[in-house]
Structure 1
Amino acid sequence: MMIRCHWHLDSGSECVLCSQNSLETSDHLFLDCPFAKCCWDFCRISWQSGNSMSDIFMKAKNDFEGPNFLEVAICAAWNIWKERNGFIFEGKRPSFTSWKVKFLGDLQLTCYRLKKEKVTRLKFWFPGLI
């Protein structure tokens, strides 16, 4: 993604979240990267191939059995992005544990804007929420 922005970083243009030496593209970073797949598995969101990102998104949403798909997917993707940026800009080693803590924290904040019954279902889906 940095190549497209014409940024040249010391870390190169490979994904910093995995050891596959894959070019960092949005598809790789958020869908194909083993680190991202681990995060999506935790959320129980499955991304299948499709003709467009819209198709991929709608298929994942329809297959998701938990509550609040959009909130969960946004918090997960945002925290994948933060793990990536933590390495690039602060030298912090990416870890699933770090991602999980940040993800659950952001999801907890999201609960303040949801109706009580949705929060109850979300807390059942993610027992780590307070």
Structure 2
Amino acid sequence: MHLHSYVCELCILQREESLHHLFINCNFAKSHWQTIGISYPSTLSRFRIIIRIKRNLQVPFYMEIIILMSWCIWKQRHGWLFNNNDPSVQEFLRNFKLEFSVE
């Protein structure tokens, strides 16, 4: 069985679509993390990036925020790839706030 690798469509880096790239290293993902005040050098390991996010957020539910951010990044990527929705940081932030709010 041959597995195909795909190139990230949403950044200029033309990197393979790995989980690490899609949710952390892609310029698209990094711009979304920056909307909630999170920035980090791409050279850090996943573990170090999570530690940095935890320190920056300073809330006990930091992991839930990481999961929710990843979900919202995923939804916006796929909205663009499959529905031709223009990705925007403003739309992402609106969706993140909606998902984060408790009804």
TM exceeding 0.5: yes
Q: Which residue does 1:16 correspond to in 2?
A: 9
Q: Which residue does 1:33 correspond to in 2?
A: 26
8 A contact 1:31–1:47 mirrored in 2: no
SS in 2 for 1:64: helix
> Runs of 4+ in structure 1 displaced over 6 angstroms?
none
Q: 1:74 aligns with which of 67, 71, 85?
A: 67
TM-score by length of 1: 0.62
8 A contact 2:35–2:89 mirrored in 1: no
1:42 equivalent in alignment to 2:35: yes
Deviation at 1:66, TM superposition (A): 4.0
Give the gaps of 5 or more residues in structure 2: none
Give the gaps of 5 or more residues in structure 1: 113-130
8 A contact 1:17–1:94 mirrored in 2: no
Bigger shift: residues 37-46 or 78-87: 37-46
Matched residue type, 2:67: I
Deviation at 1:57, TM superposition (A): 2.2
Deviation at 1:78, TM superposition (A): 0.6
Instruction: Provide Cα deviations, 1:35-77, integer angstroms capped at 9, x if missing partner.
Output: 1111111122344613xx445423431x224433122222111
Q: How many aligned residue pairs are there? A: 99
Query: Taking every aligned residue pair, what percent have the same amino acid on both sides?
Result: 28
1:64 equivalent in alignment to 2:56: yes
1:90 equivalent in alignment to 2:69: no
CA distance in 1, matches of 2:47, 2:15: 24
